[in-house]
C-alpha cells in the first residue's frame, strides 16, 4: 500500500468523510438519475456516462426511460428500437450489453435487480466501476466506484505515482478508496468523488482554492497538482480510408445497406461503402474524373463503382467525413450518383431516414449531403 495512505488513522478518515460529505450535501449536481436510488435508473445512467459528457447524456436518459420505463420493457424491446434511442451516443455495444443484462435479470433474478456485488458484477457489460456505483448508491454497499475522475482525485490526494493508464494500477486506487469510503453513506461518497473530479479537481487548472479537501491533499501542499495523475499516452488511432456512395434513383430515394450482424457498427445502416488504400483516397480526393475512376477499372458512364450495376457519378467529391472511434480514425469520401436502372435493394427517401438506425459516420454523411445536394433554396 502507498505509505501516504497508511498514514491516515481512523480520526483523520472520519474528519475527511465529514468535511467531504458536507460539501457534497451543499453542492451536489441536480441530475435526473439522482432523483431516487432506483438501481435501474442508476445503471442506465452510468452506462450512458461512459465516454460521454453529462450534458449530452441528460436528454438521452430522459428519452430512454420514457421508452423503456422498466427492465422488462428493455429486455423485450426490438434491437432496432433500442439502437434508435441510443443513436448518436456511440459505442453501440453498450446498448446491446444492457439489453443482454436486462434479459439476464428477467430470467435469473425474476425481474428484480440483483443486490450483491457478485451478482451485479456478473451482469453483461457491468465492470467494477459500474458495480460500485450501483451497489453503493442503490444498496448502500461500501463498494468503491473507481473511474478516471476518482483516480485523478485520489492520485493527488495521496501522491500516487502509479500510471493510471495501466490496468494493474487500478488495484492501488481501489485499496485507497476502500480505506477512505464512508460506510454510512457510500453512495454519496462515490458521487461526491465524481462531482469533485468533474468540477474542481479537473485534469488541467484544478480549482484548488475552492476544493473541500484541500487541507488533506498532499499534491496541493507540495504544489504538485499538475504532476498528477501519472498517465502514459494512448496509441494514436489507426487511419482507415473509405469511399461512400449517395446513390439516388428516379424516385428520389437513396440506397442504404445494412452492416453485418457482428463487428463495428453491427446491424446499422449506411450508404454503400468500400475501404480503399490511402493512396487511392488521396487521388480521388483531388479530382473525381474518368481518369480517377480507372483506378477501379470502370468507365465513367457504366461505373460499377461501389455497386455492381450502372450508376452515373457526379464528377466531383461531395465532401469528406471524418470520425474517430476508440482505436480507429475513419476518413470517408462521399460521392453522389444517379441509378440508371431499376434494381432491388433498400431505397429510402431522405425524409424517412429517421426510421433507420444510423451510426455517427452515416449521420455525418447525411448532414453533408443535405448541405450540398438536398438543401432547399
| Cell reading at 177 | 478508496
**Hunting for cell 489507426 — which residue is that?**
238
The values of phi and psi at residue 328, to 5°, are -130, 145
User: Does residue 229 have a cis bond before it (omega within 30 degrees)?
Assistant: yes
Q: What is the dihedral of CA 333, 79, 41, 199, to 10 degrees?
A: -10
Q: Which residue has the cell 457504366?
A: 302
Active site residue: 46, 87, 143, 248, which one?
46
Here the cell at position 365 is: 454523411
46 among known catalytic residues: yes
CA 154 from chain center: how many Å? 24
Residues with catalytic roles: 46
Amino acid at each position: 500500500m502507498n505509505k501516504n495512505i497508511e498514514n491516515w488513522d481512523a480520526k483523520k478518515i472520519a474528519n475527511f468523510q465529514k468535511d467531504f460529505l458536507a460539501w457534497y450535501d451543499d453542492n451536489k449536481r441536480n441530475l435526473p438519475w439522482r432523483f431516487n436510488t432506483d438501481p435501474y435508473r442508476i445503471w442506465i445512467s452510468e452506462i450512458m456516462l461512459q465516454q460521454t459528457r453529462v450534458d449530452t447524456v441528460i436528454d438521452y436518459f430522459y428519452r430512454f426511460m420514457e421508452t423503456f420505463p422498466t427492465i422488462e420493457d428493455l429486455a423485450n424491446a426490438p434491437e432496432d428500437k433500442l439502437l434508435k434511442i441510443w443513436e448518436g451516443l456511440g459505442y453501440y455495444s453498450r446498448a446491446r450489453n444492457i439489453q443482454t443484462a436486462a434479459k439476464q435479470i428477467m430470467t435469473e433474478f425474476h425481474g428484480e435487480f440483483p443486490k450483491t456485488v457478485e451478482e451485479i458484477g456478473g451482469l453483461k457489460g457491468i465492470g467494477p466501476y459500474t458495480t460500485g456505483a450501483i451497489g453503493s448508491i442503490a444498496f448502500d454497499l461500501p463498494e468503491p466506484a473507481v473511474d478516471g475522475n476518482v483516480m485523478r482525485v485520489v492520485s493527488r490526494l495521496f501522491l500516487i505515482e502509479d500510471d493510471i493508464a495501466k490496468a494493474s494500477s487500478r488495484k492501488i486506487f481501489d485499496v485507497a478508496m476502500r480505506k477512505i469510503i464512508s460506510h454510512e453513506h457510500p453512495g454519496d461518497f462515490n458521487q461526491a468523488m465524481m462531482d469533485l473530479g468533474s468540477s474542481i479537481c479537473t485534469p488541467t487548472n484544478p480549482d484548488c482554492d475552492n476544493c473541500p479537501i484541500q487541507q488533506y491533499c498532499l499534491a496541493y501542499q507540495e504544489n504538485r497538482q499538475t504532476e498528477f495523475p501519472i498517465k502514459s499516452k494512448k496509441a494514436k488511432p489507426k487511419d482507415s480510408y473509405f469511399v461512400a456512395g449517395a446513390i439516388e434513383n428516379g424516385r428520389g430515394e437513396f440506397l442504404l445497406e445494412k452492416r453485418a450482424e457482428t463487428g463495428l457498427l453491427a446491424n446499422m445502416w449506411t450508404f454503400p461503402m468500400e475501404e480503399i488504400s490511402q493512396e487511392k483516397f488521396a487521388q480521388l480526393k483531388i479530382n473525381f474524373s474518368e481518369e480517377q475512376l480507372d483506378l477501379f477499372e470502370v468507365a465513367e458512364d457504366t461505373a460499377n463503382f461501389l455497386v455492381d450495376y450502372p450508376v452515373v457519378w457526379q464528377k466531383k467529391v461531395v465532401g469528406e467525413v471524418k470520425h474517430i472511434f476508440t482505436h480507429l480514425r475513419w476518413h470517408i469520401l462521399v460521392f453522389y450518383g444517379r441509378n440508371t436502372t431499376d434494381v432491388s435493394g433498400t431505397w429510402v427517401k431522405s425524409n424517412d431516414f429517421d426510421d433507420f438506425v444510423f451510426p455517427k459516420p452515416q449521420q455525418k454523411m447525411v448532414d453533408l449531403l443535405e448541405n450540398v445536394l438536398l438543401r432547399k433554396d
